Amino acid sequence: MPRILVADDDADARERIAAILQKEPVLSVVFATDGTEAMAEFDKAKPDLLLTDLRMPNMDGLDLVRAVRDRCESTPIVMMTSHGDQQLAAQALSAGAASYVPKSEADEELLNTVQHVLNLSTRRSLRPFPAELKQSRMVYVIHNDSQMITSLVGHLQENILQVGLCDESEQIRFGVALEEALINAMIHGNLEIDSSIKEKDPAQFDSLVQQRCNELPYKERKIEVEVELSAEQIVVTIGDHGQGFDPATLPDPTEPENLEKVSGRGVLLMRSFMDEVQFNDAGNRVTMIKRKK
């Protein structure tokens, strides 16, 4: 049973978070009222994921992220952000947090984000591979299928560990960035669905995704993934068959008015966890580079 350690000094917020996470009965939740208490509880609870507010007394969320990263590289951290937290959030992502959820979107996004990050953090090779992988080039073509995306992300996570490109913490963050890029290629590229629909009506958004996955011309479109991997870096290029967009129109997700929106979060995570992120002029291909630290 995955155990979630939640750090938040607001009693009402803790109650709201508990109600959201308890929708998934396999999750066990432990609470702390600030960062100092969370660090004390961390050693006892041995959580599978830390969920933390950014602004707390005694030890804030940023210092908590740093302290947990120093103690344990494999425990993923998800932040909860509020309006005005953009600078702290950017610093926490740089310090080792794996994702974030705007508090204003917690009802729709929190449980899904926690489940995704848990899945990305628990993927390990079932059997040791006897050969030493030095370098490879791979090309994949996948359908608009979230399960295929999940499988490909897990496969590439294992590969970057095998070549010694990163530790477990960076493996999780690489997986988060890659999954966001693949989902963007499917939803916004091939299916041509705008994030604004999700912000207004999540149920309508999910229904439209299912509809377009089964109707022409959307269902015939594929996602193409080119991967060049070595012990020094991984270069992933993801292309879709959609109409594309003007990359110059991408909003800055670190701006206060954008941090609380669902749209733009994927691009922020991609840019935070990869060393380079470049879109082509047509906006239907993105190249991401992760280098060995």
Q: Which domains does the chain have, with CATH numbers?
A: 3-121 (3.40.50.2300), 135-291 (3.30.565.10)
Q: What pLDDT is attached to residue 161?
A: 85
Q: How far apart are CA 50 and CA 98, in angstroms?
A: 10
Q: What pLDDT is attached to residue 125?
A: 45
DSSP label at residue 104: G
pLDDT of residue 123 exceeding 70: no
pLDDT band per the 50, 70, 90 thresholds, residue 126: very low
Q: What pLDDT is attached to residue 85?
A: 75
Q: Looking at 23-37, 205-219, 248-262, which range is the least confident one? A: 248-262
The rounded mean pLDDT for the chain is 89
Helix, strand, coil percentages (3-state) for the chain, rounded to 5, are 45, 20, 35
Who has greater pLDDT, 162 or 76?
A: 76
Q: What pLDDT is attached to residue 1?
A: 86
Q: How far apart are CA 42 and CA 50, in angstroms?
A: 9
pLDDT of residue 129 exceeding 70: no
Q: Looking at 49-58, 69-78, 122-131, which range is the least confident one? A: 122-131
DSSP string, 122-158: S---SS--SS---EEEEEEEE-S-HHHHHHHHHHHHH
Q: What pLDDT is attached to residue 261?
A: 63
Q: How far apart are CA 180 and CA 111, in angstroms?
A: 16
* DSSP bridge partners of 282: none
What share of the chain in percent tops pLDDT 90?
Answer: 69
* 145 alpha carbon, distance to own chain's centre: 18
Q: What pLDDT is attached to residue 90?
A: 85
**Residues 6 or more apart from 275 whose CB is under 8 A from it?**
233, 289, 290, 291
Q: What pLDDT is attached to residue 262?
A: 62
Q: What pLDDT is attached to residue 47?
A: 94
